[in-house]
Amino acid sequence: MVKIIYSILQKFLTKSRLKQVKKQYNNVKQIVLGRNKSVDLENILRNRMNIQKGDTVFVHSSVEKLNIDFEPSVVFQLLLDIVGKEGTVLFPCWHFKTRAEEYLSKTHKTFDVRKTRSRMGYLTEFARLQKNSVRSLHPINSIVAIGSDAENIVNEHNKDIYPCGVKSPFYKMLNYNAKIIGLGVDVDNMSFLHCVEDVENDIFPLKTRSEEVYSEPVISASGKEIVVDVLIPSEQISKRNPKTFFSKYITSDICIRFKKRGAEFFCADSVKLYDKLSELHKRGITIYNS
């Protein structure tokens, strides 16, 4: 019902007014439902998502939608404390919100792995600023990682023309049986869904990447400029429906989705999910036609 009302309001309200209404709605929802406390989030991470010491965890997040009553930095520290020194935590860290072709052709500046800010939310930028973080040298889909296997997971991202290909962190984290989680977001934010498209591009039912190869300058952590060749998303895949796809085809042993005090959460087993996505696309079923 909320989505229906929101779609109607989009037709009649300006963007600024719609943003105000959305903020007012969230404020009311927080009053009615209450806020998630740090103990609630720790229980979700440890017990609902079963995150343990030594785990590799890829985190999608929206602090704004998480509905917490404590500082966002506590979320970051909770994740690190739970996985411990033996574990690794990763975040998407791309630095623009427009379509990739628009950014690369019109507005972009040289991507500097040391200085270019993340546009993927508070936790991603907070992670980027940590002294022990490692960020992949990728001009459109960089990943920031912290932990024992951070360097091994992100160090070859710039060597794969496919952003989610076999040398990318998305595919490499399968070697660590990574968990993919959402804090304040649902599966429509899950970038891992594009991994099977890139790795199995020769048999995927539709073309998901551009024909044109973009050669982009990137400045490394040492200050050296290198050129990275990359393919960007095809316009054919602008319409997709991951939520419907998951509801129809992805069982709870692969990915759980739930809410706590109005905030959305998910946790997926990366290996099981990849295998299921591969099985489904060979039957012609994808997030684009679900």
Per-domain boundaries in the chain? 36-281
Cβ atoms of residues 162 and 241 within 8 Å: no
Nearest Cα to Cα of residue 139 among 116, 170, 166, 111: 111
pLDDT score of 220: 93
pLDDT band at 53; cut points 50, 70, 90: very high
pLDDT band at 94; cut points 50, 70, 90: confident
pLDDT band at 290; cut points 50, 70, 90: low
pLDDT band at 275; cut points 50, 70, 90: very high
Percent of the chain with pLDDT over 90: 72
Q: Coil, strand or helix: which one is 86?
A: coil
Query: Is the pLDDT score of 282 beyond 70?
Result: yes
pLDDT score of 111: 87
Within 10 angstroms of residue 104's Cβ, the number of other Cβ atoms is 18
Cβ atoms of residues 260 and 36 within 8 Å: yes
Mean pLDDT calculated for residue range 31-53: 89
Cβ atoms of residues 204 and 84 within 8 Å: no
Query: Is the pLDDT score of 113 beyond 80?
Result: yes
Cβ atoms of residues 214 and 230 within 8 Å: yes
Nearest Cα to Cα of residue 165 among 216, 118, 202, 119: 202
* pLDDT tens track for 24-39: 666 665 566 677 899 9
pLDDT band at 109; cut points 50, 70, 90: confident
Comparing 120 with 49, the larger pLDDT belongs to 49
Residue 33 CB contacts under 8 Å (≥ 6 apart), including other chains: 67, 261, 262
* pLDDT tens track for 173-226: 999 999 999 999 999 989 999 999 999 999 999 999 989 898 989 999 999 999
Name the DSSP class of 60: E
Q: Coil, strand or helix: which one is 250?
A: coil
Query: Is the pLDDT score of 1 beyond 60?
Result: no
The structure tokens listed for 195 are 């991994």
CA dihedral for 287, 96, 18, 73, sign (positive or negative): positive
Q: What is the mean pLDDT of the chain?
A: 90
* pLDDT tens track for 8-25: 766 667 877 767 767 666
Percent of the chain with pLDDT over 70: 87
Segment among 79-93, 97-111, 139-153, 191-205 with least mean pLDDT: 97-111
pLDDT score of 106: 64
Query: Is the pLDDT score of 95 beyond 70?
Result: yes
Mean pLDDT calculated for residue range 250-272: 97
Taking the C-alpha atoms of residue 101 and residue 107, their distance in angstroms, rounded to an integer, is: 10
pLDDT score of 175: 98
pLDDT score of 239: 81
